[in-house]
Every structure is written in structure tokens, then in C-alpha cells.
């Protein structure tokens, strides 16, 4: 079959254009490090890569929520530890006061320090994490100016004026969602965590007993102080249990955080395998295509001379 020069030239240009396009694609892969430049290059891999990226974004949102939850719980845990220290110090003072050799001035000094511990305990009960009260249950914010979840008030009992600590926080616990259909208890209501321990009643009662200074019946006063010591032991046991529960919740979130971190690492590896080019393979193919392109150009140069005009004298 007779093949004309025009057909030869067209086929030659077609082959050169194909090689040029492939060279351009390989150069782009070398520069970007990706297998594809546009969706049509690798549509299946692109869909898979988009799915991986979406999952990674979701996991990062989960991790952000988990970190915030851990931080909130850490703030609570530190406050609980400080409350335990307050109770331990109050017990030390009570043991010191349970001594019939102390004079009224000594007892008043101890009562004054116990009052300071009461104020410190009240401040710790109103601990905030950022703008949220950590022991206010499901009402961590939204208090009127000058009001707090725990407040010390004076009430009239007959002719006697007594101090009480009133809880105005949320009645329900505070939960935090950290993943789809996943949530964890981050803040119990202050009634069950602190008020139920009897902390404030124990401190107020101890202070009242020391301030009363029952000189008429010292033995009764010492007996009352020992009663307060027993109550402080119960308070400490309650706070210790609550802090252990907090630690378990922190451990749970840390376990979840580690699982998500491992999962994210796997997804990133899959994403890299899906969209990142094998640079060694690209370099090898690029070298081969460059050689082919040079050979095609050389062949084209010879073909261009295939004309009878070149042989006319």
C-alpha cells in the first residue's frame, strides 16, 4: 500500500505530541509529587483520596474535642486535689484543738484559720475553666453578676445566725460529645460532687465549736471536736472517690485520643499511597521518555528529508 509523505508527517507529529504530553505529565508529577494534576487523570484514586481527607478532618475535630475535655477534667482534678488538702489541714487543726491545754486565744486563732480554709474551699468549689464553672453541672455559665454556683449565706435560726453554703449550679451532669454518637461525662453537678460530701457543713461546724470555746464543759468541747474529725474523714473519703472517678474519665479520653491518633496515622499513610507519586518510578519513566523523545526527533529529522526535491539537480 502506498503511504504518502503527508500521512507520514501527520503520524510523526501525532507521536511527538503524545510523547510531549507524557513528558509534561511526568514533569508535573516530579514538581508536585502527586500522581494526578486534574480529576480526569486518576478519578478512582481522587475519590479515594477525598474520602481519606474527609475522615482525617473528622478525626482532627474529635481530637480537638477530646483535648478540650481532658483540659476541663484536669482543671477539676486539680481543684479536687486542693480541696483534699483543705480537708487534711482542717483535720490537723482539729486534732490540735482537741487539747484541753489550749487557752481561748489559741482556739480563736485556730477558728480563724478554719474560716480561711472555708473561704478557700468555697473559692475552689467555684473554680472556672476558661469561662465555665467546672463544678456547676449542666449550668457552667449564665450566672448574674455577683452570683456564683456556690455561695456562703447567713440564715436566721431562732435567735441564732448561722452560715450555710448554697448551691445554685445545674441539677444535671455535664456531658461532652467527642465523636458521632459518642459522649463522656465531664462535669458532675456540684451537689453530688462537693455538697454531698458535707465539706462545708464540717468546716462551719468546726469553726463554730472553736469560736464557742465551751469553758464550762471542756470535755464536751473535745468530744464535739472529735465528732468533727470523724466528719472530716468522711468528707475526705468522698472527695478521694470523686477524684479517682475523674482520673478514670481522663484515662478513657487519653485512650480514645491515642486510638484516633493511630487511626489518623494510618489514614495519612493510605492517602499518601493513593495520591503521592513514586518519585523513583517517575524519574525512571521520565528518563525513558526523554530518550524516546530524542530518538523521535532524530527520526523526524530524517523523514523530513524524504522528498524528491532533495534529489533534483
pLDDT at 129 over 80: yes
Residue 188 belongs to a domain: yes
The pLDDT value given to residue 46: 75
The pLDDT value given to residue 283: 64
Q: Are residues 150 and 179 in the same domain?
A: yes
Q: Can you give the pTM of this predicted structure?
A: 0.74
Question: Residue 158 — left, alpha, or beta (φ > 0 → left; ψ -120 to 50 → alpha)?
Answer: left
Q: Are residues 24 and 108 in the same domain?
A: no
Q: Are residues 253 and 116 in the same domain?
A: yes
What number is the average pLDDT over the span 61-81?
92
Q: Are residues 155 and 198 in the same domain?
A: yes
Q: Are residues 168 and 299 in the same domain?
A: no
Q: What are 73-126's pLDDT values in tens digits?
A: 999 999 999 999 999 999 999 998 887 677 778 888 999 999 999 999 999 999
Residue 277 belongs to a domain: yes
Q: What are 258-303's pLDDT values in tens digits?
A: 999 999 999 988 877 776 665 666 567 667 766 766 766 666 666 6
Residue 59 belongs to a domain: no
What number is the average pLDDT over the span 26-34?
62
Residue 85 belongs to a domain: yes
* Count of domains observed in the chain: 2
Residue 182 belongs to a domain: yes
The pLDDT value given to residue 203: 95
Q: Are residues 259 and 285 in the same domain?
A: no
Of residues 168 and 20, the one with the higher pLDDT is: 168
What number is the average pLDDT over the span 203-207?
93
The pLDDT value given to residue 45: 74
Q: Are residues 23 and 83 in the same domain?
A: no
Q: Rounded to the nearest 10 degrees, how much is the dihedral formed by the CA atoms of 109, 113, 116, 122?
A: -130
What number is the average pLDDT over the span 35-55?
74
The pLDDT value given to residue 6: 67
Q: Are residues 276 and 165 in the same domain?
A: no
The pLDDT value given to residue 299: 67
Residue 89: give its domain's CATH number.
1.20.1330.10
The pLDDT value given to residue 230: 95
pLDDT at 19 over 80: no
The pLDDT value given to residue 245: 92
Task: Identify the CA nearest to 167 among candidates 142, 135, 145, 208.
Answer: 135
The pLDDT value given to residue 243: 94
Which residue range is the domain that position 9 belongs to?
5-51+270-311
pLDDT at 228 over 70: yes
Q: Are residues 251 and 286 in the same domain?
A: no
Residue 218 belongs to a domain: yes
The pLDDT value given to residue 105: 84
Residue 284 belongs to a domain: yes
Q: Which of 132-136, 141-145, 190-194, 300-304 comes out lowest in average pLDDT?
A: 300-304
Q: What are 299-308's pLDDT values in tens digits?
A: 666 666 655 4
pLDDT at 309 over 60: no
Round to whole Å and give the CA distance between 65 and 28: 39
Q: Are residues 215 and 168 in the same domain?
A: yes
Q: Are residues 79 and 167 in the same domain?
A: yes
**pLDDT, mean over the chain:** 82
What number is the average pLDDT over the span 227-234?
95
Residue 56 belongs to a domain: no
> Is the CA virtual torsion 8, 13, 15, 16 positive or negative?
positive
Q: Are residues 23 and 117 in the same domain?
A: no
Of residues 1 and 129, the one with the higher pLDDT is: 129
Amino acid at each position: 500500500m502506498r503511504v504518502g509523505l503527508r500521512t507520514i508527517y501527520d503520524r510523526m507529529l501525532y507521536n511527538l505530541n503524545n510523547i510531549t504530553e507524557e513528558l509534561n505529565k511526568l514533569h508535573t508529577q516530579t514538581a508536585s509529587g502527586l500522581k494526578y494534576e486534574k480529576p480526569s487523570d486518576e478519578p478512582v484514586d481522587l475519590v479515594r483520596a477525598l474520602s481519606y481527607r474527609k475522615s482525617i478532618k473528622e478525626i482532627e475535630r474529635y481530637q480537638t474535642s477530646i483535648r478540650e475535655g481532658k483540659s476541663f477534667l484536669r482543671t477539676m482534678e486539680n481543684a479536687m486535689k486542693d480541696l483534699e488538702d483543705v480537708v487534711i489541714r482542717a483535720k490537723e487543726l482539729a486534732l490540735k484543738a482537741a487539747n484541753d491545754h489550749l487557752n481561748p486565744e489559741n482556739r480563736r486563732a485556730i477558728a480563724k484559720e478554719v474560716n480561711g480554709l472555708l473561704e478557700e474551699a468555697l473559692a475552689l468549689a467555684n473554680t472556672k475553666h476558661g469561662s465555665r464553672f467546672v463544678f456547676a453541672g449542666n449550668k457552667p455559665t449564665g450566672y448574674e453578676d455577683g452570683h456564683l454556683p456556690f455561695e456562703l449565706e447567713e440564715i436566721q435560726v431562732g435567735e441564732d445566725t448561722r452560715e450555710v453554703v448554697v448551691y445554685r449550679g445545674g441539677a444535671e451532669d455535664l456531658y461532652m460529645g467527642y465523636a458521632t454518637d459518642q459522649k463522656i461525662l465531664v462535669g458532675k453537678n456540684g451537689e453530688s460532687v462537693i455538697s454531698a460530701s458535707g465539706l462545708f457543713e464540717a468546716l462551719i461546724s468546726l469553726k463554730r465549736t472553736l469560736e464557742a470555746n465551751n469553758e464550762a464543759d471542756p470535755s464536751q468541747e473535745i468530744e464535739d471536736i472529735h465528732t468533727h474529725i470523724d466528719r472530716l474523714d468522711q468528707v475526705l473519703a468522698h472527695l478521694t472517690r470523686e477524684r479517682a472517678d475523674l482520673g478514670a474519665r481522663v484515662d478513657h479520653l487519653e485512650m480514645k485520643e491515642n486510638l484516633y491518633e493511630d487511626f489518623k496515622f494510618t489514614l495519612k499513610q493510605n492517602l499518601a499511597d493513593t495520591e503521592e507519586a513514586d518519585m523513583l518510578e517517575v524519574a525512571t519513566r521520565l528518563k525513558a521518555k526523554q530518550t524516546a523523545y530524542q530518538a523521535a526527533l532524530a527520526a523526524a529529522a530524517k523523514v523530513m528529508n524524504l522528498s524528491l526535491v532533495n534529489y533534483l539537480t
